[in-house]
């Protein structure tokens, strides 16, 4: 027969393993379209800064960008993966940037990363929106 302290240890281990297994699913907050609205940390960790324009809008909808020095810029790559979207262009209203997104072609957009702020982007009709969070 198992002692009560051994049962408690096993029970605690099961709880920890369950929590670790669920962590990836709980770390993303989905919006009504099912897309993640939690900021992607790829940019902050030095990885690629990329956004996909798909059938349900922009993924990720929010992207963290590390703040750089004076005059620094970050390049964000946008790729439209379907014709079933109005996101055939990306518009940064605050920066007066408007770039067409040809199907399955990478489009680089240089954005200032020298000031902590949130830069919004959207499709041409403003139906799909996203944000670049410079921090």
> Per-residue pLDDT tens for 58-91?
999 999 999 999 999 999 999 999 999 999 999 9
- In angstroms, the CA 107 to CA 123 distance is 14
Domain containing 125 equals 50-134
Is there a domain that residue 25 lies in? Answer: no
The count of domains in the chain is 1
**pLDDT tops 60 at residue 15:** no
How many C-beta atoms lie closer than 10 Å to residue 96's C-beta? 7
Each residue's pLDDT tens digit, 91-132:
999 999 999 999 999 999 999 999 999 999 999 999 999 999
Let me know if residue 27 belongs to a domain.
no
Does residue 87 belong to any structural domain of this protein?
Answer: yes
Task: Read off the CATH number of the domain in which 121 is found.
Answer: 2.60.40.420
Q: Is 103 among the domain residues?
A: yes
Residue 33, in any domain of the structure: no
């Amino acid at each position: 027969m198992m002692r009560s302290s051994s049962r408690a240890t096993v029970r605690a281990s099961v709880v920890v393993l369950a929590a670790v297994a669920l962590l990836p699913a709980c770390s993303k907050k989905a919006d009504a379209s099912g897309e993640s609205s939690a900021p992607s940390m790829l940019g902050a960790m030095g990885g690629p800064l990329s956004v996909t324009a798909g059938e349900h809008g922009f993924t990720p909808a929010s992207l963290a960008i590390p703040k750089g020095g004076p005059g620094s810029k970050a390049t964000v790559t946008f790729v439209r993966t379907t014709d079933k979207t109005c996101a055939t262009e990306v518009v940064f209203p605050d920066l007066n940037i408007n770039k067409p997104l040809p199907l399955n072609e990478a489009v680089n957009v240089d954005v200032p990363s020298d000031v902590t702020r949130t830069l919004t982007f959207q499709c041409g009709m403003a139906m799909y929106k996203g944000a670049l969070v410079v921090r």
